[in-house]
Amino acid sequence: MHTVPKPELNKYPPPATFTDSSHPVKVMRRVHRLYKACPSLSHITHTVLHCDHRPQYLQWFLACFVFLLFLLILYVPAYYQDQVHIGWSVNTSRDLRLYVLPENLTAIIPQPDICSKKLFLLIVVCSAVGNFEARAAIRQTWASAPIVTEKASAIRVAFLLGVLKHNTLQEQVEKESVLHKDIIQEDFLDTYYNLTLKTVMLLKWTIKNCPFVHYIMKADDNTFINIESLVHLLHSKGTTGLLMGDLICGAHPVSDSHRKMYAPSYMYPRRVYPNYLSGAGYVMSNDVVKQLYTAALQTQLFHLEDVYVTGLCSKAAGIRPRDHPAFTYRRRKIIPCLLRDHSVVTSHHMESAHLLEIWPRIQDPNLDCSNFNASQYAKYKNKKCNVQL
């Protein structure tokens, strides 16, 4: 008897069965309708396909960000340093009244006896606290000229100082004042960028203590002054309206923060300074001192004292600074006959050694200057100074 084998029940899967919702044709129709309803899917697909470019864009963005941050790190300290460099930042008040205190007595050493009698000429030398040698050299040289030291002289020489932050030299200054009775000391920090305060304090002190002096000269402590020549010149001038020295014309503010005369635009935004006199040495009549002081109390402080006092303040007061060839901000040739000549009042950048060496030769009664021609050493003057701004 032949037996028929039984079929293997699980050898083949059962035929697929579909519900209405999962039938292939219906599924395709639903996808097609969804695509038509949302056409932005194609954009999404395109974006996804290109997403592997994102890291490259991100790298460029980060590189630019780091570069800008690096520039900012470099710029901010430089900007801050420029402001510290001149001592007057954008946010520092430049109202001069706050520093000069016009209603108060501010002098530490007022020295009122300097003008105990009516003076024809007072020369105030602006000197740094520690410049003992420079002051001593001046006392031994041009300030010891007979026209100053004679008993009936109406000429005095004084020195104006500020104070140091750590004033270890104060005791020496006080001893110097007691010995020579020619030190005026005001209560402000004695720094280069406070020279404007020093000169305005000079004006304030003069008005308070020397109301009847005819002429006041401001000078640096490295300036040689031929006082006989100066007195001779002043006798030929009027006693009012005088502001005279070495006139600087058409000068531009210095934009390089590493230079000494740097002037940031937030302190002086204009292109050219008004005409002004070099701070090496200039002379004023009594009435001009008062007018300049009044103008200074109403004019924003500027750290370059000669530009400020004889330029900005004189312009505000309606005073015209005058040029005279006897004054110079340069150092003249160190020739005895030249420095003795009446055509010379000042010579700048004269160190103590220069003064001490040349003075005995200038004062030598046997010095023969009969054939000396001072005109060949006349100072050069910029033609712009022929025009008043």
Tens-place pLDDT, residues 114-148 = 998 899 999 999 999 999 999 999 999 999 999 99
pLDDT computed for residue 152 by the predictor: 83
Query: Which range, of 34-43, 54-63, 259-268, 313-322, averages the lowest pLDDT?
Result: 34-43
Q: How many helices (H) and strands (E) in the chain?
A: 14, 12
* CA nearest neighbour of 203 among 191, 216, 222, 221: 216
- One-letter amino acid of 106: T
Whole-number Å distance between alpha carbons of 277 and 283: 10
Q: What is the mean pLDDT of residues 308-326?
A: 97
Instruction: Yes or no: say if 186 and 107 are a contact pair by the CB < 8 Å rule.
Output: yes
Q: Is 213 left (phi over 0), alpha (psi -120 to 50) or beta?
A: beta
Whole-number Å distance between alpha carbons of 106 and 100: 8
* Helix (H/G/I), strand (E/B), else coil: 165: coil
pLDDT computed for residue 63 by the predictor: 74
Residue 70: Cβ within 10 Å count: 10
Separation of CA 83 from chain center: 9
pLDDT at 362 over 90: yes
Between 383 and 205, residue with greater pLDDT: 205
CA 66 to each of CA 55, 72, 73, 77, 219: distance values in angstroms, whole numbers, following the listed order: 16, 10, 10, 17, 53
- Provide the H-helix boundaries in the chain: 24-37, 40-49, 54-86, 97-100, 132-140, 146-149, 170-180, 195-209, 227-234, 286-296, 305-307, 314-317, 336-340, 352-363
Q: Does this model's pTM top 0.75?
A: yes
Tokens 């340069």 locate to: 330
Tokens of 289: 């001192």
Between 217 and 79, residue with greater pLDDT: 217
pLDDT computed for residue 191 by the predictor: 92
- One-letter amino acid of 11: K
Tokens 């002051």 locate to: 135
Q: So what CATH class is 97-367?
A: alpha beta
pLDDT at 306 over 50: yes
* Helix (H/G/I), strand (E/B), else coil: 188: strand
Tokens of 143: 């300030």
pLDDT computed for residue 379 by the predictor: 67
Tokens of 35: 């695509």
Tokens of 333: 């040739």
Arithmetic mean of pLDDT over the chain: 84
